[in-house]
């Protein structure tokens, strides 16, 4: 990405403000926003160009072996731009390794593919390690679980008999009849004759 002389001046001013904060003029804010828009557009354009080049590379790869010179040139350019050779590229170069230029590019692509796979595996293992335990945290040893009385027993195993009597050192659990004594039935009133006689 290349900046014009005006854009470089704006960028220099923006960096100076970032290092030594100061109040901004309206004109400076507009310049910074324009520069940010230009950078965003350049990034989008680079993405479009990359997608076009990779589509072109795929077309040349499908037309092999007749398109060998063009395919090798496109692949070299893509590698310079940071392209990771895929399985299709490695297979195509293996089929063409009778050509010295293709054999040389195959060796280079193998190294790049191996490096890419290693970097991807390192990122995955690092992400897994950070989700399992924070960095620097000691992993606690496993604690053996003990069965507690009253739990569910495994199928086929006899359930242990509950202990008889109150547990030692504790108050005994009262019976329901002690907590809620039986209600006494009310005495029926005497017959009317007895009331008159009495």
DSSP state of 170: S
Domain coordinates in residue numbering, the chain? 1-62
Answering whether pTM is above 0.75, one says no
Distance CA 112, CA 84 (A): 7
* b/e burial code for range 31-48 (CB count within 10 A of at least 16 → b): bbeebeeeeeeeeeeeee
pLDDT in tens, 82-108: 888 989 999 999 999 899 999 999 999
pLDDT in tens, 20-74: 888 888 888 898 899 889 889 988 998 898 899 999 999 999 998 888 999 999 9
pLDDT in tens, 121-139: 888 888 887 765 555 555 5
């Amino acid at each position: 990405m290349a900046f014009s002389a005006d854009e470089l001046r704006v960028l220099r001013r923006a960096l100076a403000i970032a290092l030594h904060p100061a109040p901004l003029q309206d004109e400076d804010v507009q310049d910074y926003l324009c520069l940010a828009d230009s950078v965003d557009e350049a990034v989008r354009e680079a993405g479009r160009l990359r997608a076009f080049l990779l589509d072109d590379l795929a077309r040349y790869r499908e037309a092999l072996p007749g398109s060998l010179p063009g395919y090798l040139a496109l692949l070299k350019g893509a590698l310079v731009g940071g392209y990771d050779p895929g399985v299709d590229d490695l297979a195509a170069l293996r089929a063409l390794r009778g050509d010295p230029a293709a054999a040389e590019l195959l060796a280079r692509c193998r190294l790049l593919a191996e490096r890419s796979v290693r970097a991807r595996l390192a990122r995955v293992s690092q992400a897994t390690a950070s989700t399992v335990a924070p960095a620097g945290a000691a992993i606690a040893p496993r604690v053996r679980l003990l069965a507690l009385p009253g739990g569910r027993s495994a199928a086929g195993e006899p359930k242990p008999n509950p202990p008889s009597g109150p547990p030692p050192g504790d108050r005994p659990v009262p019976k329901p009849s002690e907590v809620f004594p039986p209600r006494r039935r009310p005495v029926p009133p005497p017959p009317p004759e007895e009331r008159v006689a009495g």
